[in-house]
Amino acid sequence: MTLRSYYADQNFLGANIGTRMSAMKLAGGTLLYSPIRKSDALRDELTDVRWVLAPSKFHHLYAGEWFDDGVRSYAPQGLHDKRQDLTFDEVIAEPGEPFGDEVYVFPLRFIPMTSEVVILHRESRSLIVCDLVFNITKENTFGARFMMGLVGGYPGVRPSLLEKLATDKDLAREDMGALLDLDFDRLVLAHGAIVESGGKDALAKAYGWLGL
């Protein structure tokens, strides 16, 4: 499988909202997006990690555990100021293909609070995101549903109020328009259930308040 997701527990504001790492098997090695804690099992399974991307100012906690010899590390703009204990090889400031043409990276400009970088995995037609949207469902704990409901992130595929309040709407319309022009159907989220099909429509609906 060229794209695989790994789930781990993650507490936020006292509730376990979970988090998800994506591992993409590319021609030159494996790319990790939003790394989770490096367990012995993951170390044994993911033996050809070449790139590690900490994709936002909120998704970086365990990145350093994966910075082994031969692994190149990537960060969004501003994370190097927050994590001065880590050395990142490159900062992703522009859309492009730093890992080859199998994936396309797109740094979001309209939520500077997170500086999130999203990825299009072309073969699986998957758009991989962190906090751009959440998809908390009844499968999540009551605490997660309650807490995310308070901040507008439950139920269904939607951004939280934090993303809405921190949004530059003009840049958001440009960025979201560019994202929705990409060829994807599957939406892989860090928090909540993966949208296996209809992901583009779900994302467009979640940001319909922009008048897209």
Tell me what pLDDT residue 141 has: 87
Nearest-angstrom CA–CA distance, 15 and 181: 35
Q: What does the angle CA 125 – CA 61 – CA 69 come to, to the nearest 5 degrees?
A: 80
Nearest-angstrom CA–CA distance, 106 and 118: 5
Tell me if 97 sits within 8 A of 104, measured CB to CB.
yes
Nearest-angstrom CA–CA distance, 54 and 60: 5
Nearest-angstrom CA–CA distance, 143 and 93: 36
Bridge partner residues of 133 (DSSP): none
Tell me what pLDDT residue 1 has: 60
- What pTM does this model have? 0.94
If one counts every other C-beta atom within 10 angstroms of the C-beta of residue 1, the result is 8
Nearest-angstrom CA–CA distance, 91 and 76: 5
Tell me what pLDDT residue 154 has: 87
What would the two tokens of residue 123 be? Answer: 């073969």
What is the pLDDT tens value at each position of the chain, 212 positions in all? 699 999 998 887 778 889 999 999 999 999 999 999 999 999 999 999 999 999 999 999 999 999 988 899 999 999 999 999 999 999 999 999 999 999 999 999 999 999 999 999 999 999 999 999 999 999 888 888 988 888 888 899 999 988 888 788 999 999 999 999 999 999 999 999 999 999 999 999 999 999 87
Helical axes 169-180 vs 199-206, angle rounded to 10°:
170
